[in-house]
A and B are shown apart, each in its own frame.
Chain A
């Protein structure tokens, strides 16, 4: 359930970040849309980080056991894969924010795609940990 809620929130954030087409009450529409896009990605990243931390806080599964309803535990291999994915997501989201700050009028499409892909990677590892 927890994983489902986290996954839904991540997907909502990513979807939101991908479709900012609503007219906004701002003098500089491009900037407002860019900021909202980045903020959506950022909050999806926040949900993913919290889900990852909640997973890591579970006791590690004992060798030879698997997670189940009566054995709530985290697999070491999943945490390690999650850490690798999270490292990529952290870099990608920070690159996105840094790029927009340094060059507010530059096209952020590539950095945005990189951040979205990295977060989808985190989400996929999280989903695999729930199985």
Chain B
């Protein structure tokens, strides 16, 4: 038999999880949406389409720009994020 306290504890845990997901949802959503064209391109190749040199250049330029953004250094650690 589950007690009221256990249910309340479960709800509190669920609330914390949902709250954490909602907080970072835009980042997750952006990551998923941004990956769609690449996944579609891979699917296209599997489906038999052929790549052109122009496509390769354009896609590489776009990905390199995103990679450069990722390679930007993190803010220095003041000791609070040493993980």
- Residues on A facing B (Cβ under 8 Å): 2, 5-6, 9, 12-13, 16, 22, 24-26, 32, 35-36, 38-40, 42-47, 49-66, 69-73, 75-77, 79-80, 82-83, 86-87, 89-90, 93-94, 97, 101
Contacts and interface: CB of A to CB of B under 8 A. Distances in A.
Contacts, number: 161
A43 B17 contact: no
Contact of B31 (A40, A50, A86, A89): A50
Given A42-B60, A47-B35, A93-B60, A72 B79 contact: no
Contacts of B23: 59, 72
Contacts of B50: 24-26, 32, 35-36
Interface of B: 13, 16-17, 19-21, 23-24, 27-28, 30-32, 34-35, 37-39, 41-42, 45-46, 48, 50-53, 55-57, 59-60, 62-64, 66-67, 69-71, 73-74, 77, 79-83
Q: By DSSP majority rule, is chain B's interface helix, strand, loop, or mixed? A: helix
Contacts of B60: 42, 93-94, 97
Top 7 A-B pairs, shortest CB-CB distance: A54-B31, A39-B51, A57-B27, A46-B38, A70-B16, A60-B81, A43-B38
A65 B83 contact: yes
A16 to B, nearest CB: 6
21 contacts: A5-B35, A16-B45, A25-B50, A39-B41, A39-B51, A39-B56, A40-B45, A42-B59, A43-B38, A43-B41, A43-B42, A46-B35, A54-B27, A57-B30, A60-B81, A63-B83, A70-B19, A70-B20, A72-B24, A86-B70, A93-B63
